[in-house]
Structure 1
């Protein structure tokens, strides 16, 4: 087995703002009411995102420009490289879409980071998602089942760390060897009685890993 892996959510964890909010605020004001319906459980996560991403109505150059403005935790690129230098593999696990994640990784020249996410593509001035209900990682609610990914990685790695910030991350957190929680995820895990380490950013994560002698 490989030594260790660090798995991170993207929106609200690596990024400081969910991409869907960027879209809603710039191009889709109706998304505010749709957001409330989603949070009240009236629509599935994947249906909410699909609707938002198909409501941009901009050419691809503009969409890419918007993607490149996604604010991230500035320390993340250094953290990823430090994980890799210390014998770990870094993964991104997102219930969003790989379409915008890949552009962000390229912007910061981050290499060798596999992305588990819903497949996205540009078509007719919008972002569409290709959801395969026959895929081994399929989730009816999220498009991709984060728990299945963590379980798979645990079969390949001796130690799996995970970090997230919101409800979809509460499910894989149950199965990781160590979970770091940002924001809302902290309260969710407290309610479930799941052990976690509260953090605000990736510098704090790195300090914990150094203290545990997982990183130097």
Structure 2
């Protein structure tokens, strides 16, 4: 059995802004109404995202540039290296799509980071999602069942830590050995009596790992 896995959500956790909000603000203002319907649970997460991502109507080069322009937590690249240097494996777990995640990793030269997410691809000026019900981690609402991924990793690793920021992250948080919560996830986990460590950045997570002697403070 392997020693340690650190699993991170992407949108709003690694990235400062959800990719769908960037699309809505830049290309799809009508998406605000759709957002309200989604938040009132009239529309499933996967249907909301699919509709937004298919409303960009730009060439692939422009979409990739938009992805590159999205801000991330500046400490993430160093944090990933710190995890890897201390015998851990870093994973990204997202209910968005791997299309923009993989471009972000490429931009920052981040390697050896497996991505669990909904498959995404460029076609006809938009980003399309390929969600297969036959996938072992399929979920009807989110496209990907984050809890299943965490539980599967726990079969392979002695310790699985997780960080997230929103409602979909409340489900895998139940199964992680340690959950770091950003933003609204803190209140959700409080209400559900799920233990967590409140943080606002990966710098704070690293400080906790150093204090816990999971990683060294060197380097």
TM over 0.5: yes
Deviation string, structure 1 residues 118-172 (Cα, Å, up to 9, x no partner)? 0000000000000001111000000000000000000000000000000000000
Q: Secondary structure at the match of 2:117?
A: strand
Q: TM-score, normalised by structure 2?
A: 0.98
Separation in 1 of the partners of 2:87 and 2:3? 7
Specify every segment of 5 or more residues in structure 2 that has no aligned partner in the other structure, as ranges: none
CA RMSD of aligned residues (A): 0.3
> Corresponding residue for 2:134?
134
**1:59-78, aligned counterparts within 5 Å?**
59-78=59-78
> Corresponding residue for 2:159?
159
Deviation string, structure 1 residues 26-77 (Cα, Å, up to 9, x no partner)? 1001000100000001000000000000000001011111011111000000
Q: Secondary structure at the match of 2:33?
A: helix
Separation in 1 of the partners of 2:70 and 2:166? 18
**1:5-16, aligned counterparts within 5 Å?**
5-16=5-16
What's the offset of the Cα at 1:204?
0.2
Separation in 1 of the partners of 2:68 and 2:144? 24
> Corresponding residue for 1:125?
125
Q: TM-score, normalised by structure 1?
A: 1.00
Q: Secondary structure at the match of 1:213?
A: coil
- Aligned positions, number: 216
Please state if 1:50 is matched with 2:50. yes
Q: Secondary structure at the match of 1:171?
A: helix
Specify every segment of 5 or more residues in structure 1 that has no aligned partner in the other structure, as ranges: none
> Corresponding residue for 2:174?
174
> Corresponding residue for 2:90?
90
> Corresponding residue for 2:22?
22
| Runs ≥4 residues deviating over 3 A | none
